[in-house]
Structure 1
């Protein structure tokens, strides 16, 4: 059995080494720091949904500046006591810092809405209205 486990372990290591020979775009599903997202746009604004399973809401940071939305998250190490005998065949869960940026111009920061539920971060980013985008400034 130990020999079978060793062969399986080598298989996964070999696959990851093969991935390193190519650009990350060749095997995008195997990227470990990739936050999968859907971004839609309407006349009124943008809607962004980002898969971030396993993150605590307090460890997710959203920032908008100069037309760029940046979402980052930090996940601490896993304290999994389920198997202390060293019988783990493969471990793919990751921890550390993840970040993703999106170019979304003309967002009205005062009306942005964000919620995190069931591992999905949902952002509603309304666009600046035509009235708020005018250049006339009253002098008092």
Structure 2
């Protein structure tokens, strides 16, 4: 934030072509590298009832083999990686254009009292649904105050 304030102060005294290129660079580097495939990655809904937690995570375009789910020390960790390769060829099957993208991201959720051996996961149409049943020993009960 201090750098942003400093840049704003410098912009006041910056005239001509320097000001144009300075603003162009800020706009390019601030917004130019956001890949729409990876922005807002892993939008999640978590529901809880007396018996289980249910986590629903949006992962469009991710192959099932590139997903990893771990649960340890009351923390659910979901990791995903996305690789995209595109080739454009002309009518003679000569390579004209090739791009490669790679992204890896993960999220962690604190969900206490889960029966680890009963966790199930299902991945369908870009939506990962994880059911984490609560363990019997982790049920909460009210403590009477004397």
TM-score (norm 2): 0.60
The SS at the match of 1:58 is helix
CA shift for structure 1 position 15: 4.8
Q: CA RMSD in A?
A: 3.4
Greater fraction strand: 2
Aligned to 1:109: 116
Aligned to 2:65: 58
Aligned pairs, number: 109
Alignment equivalent of 1:125, drawn from 118, 129, 132:
132
Aligned to 1:39: 46
Runs of 4 or more above 4 Å deviation = 13-16, 82-86
Describe the shift of the 1:66–1:94 C-alpha distance in structure 2 as closer, same or farther (beyond 3 A): same
CA distance in 2 between counterparts of 1:32 and 1:50 reads 14
- Report which of the two structures shows the higher radius of gyration computed on alpha carbons: 2
CA distance in 2 between counterparts of 1:101 and 1:63 reads 9
Structure 1: runs of 5 or more not aligned: 1-12, 21-28, 133-140
Question: 2:47·2:54 contact (CA, 8 Å) conserved in 1?
Answer: yes
CA distance in 2 between counterparts of 1:107 and 1:62 reads 14
Aligned to 2:103: 96
Question: 2:114·2:135 contact (CA, 8 Å) conserved in 1?
Answer: yes
Aligned to 1:5: none
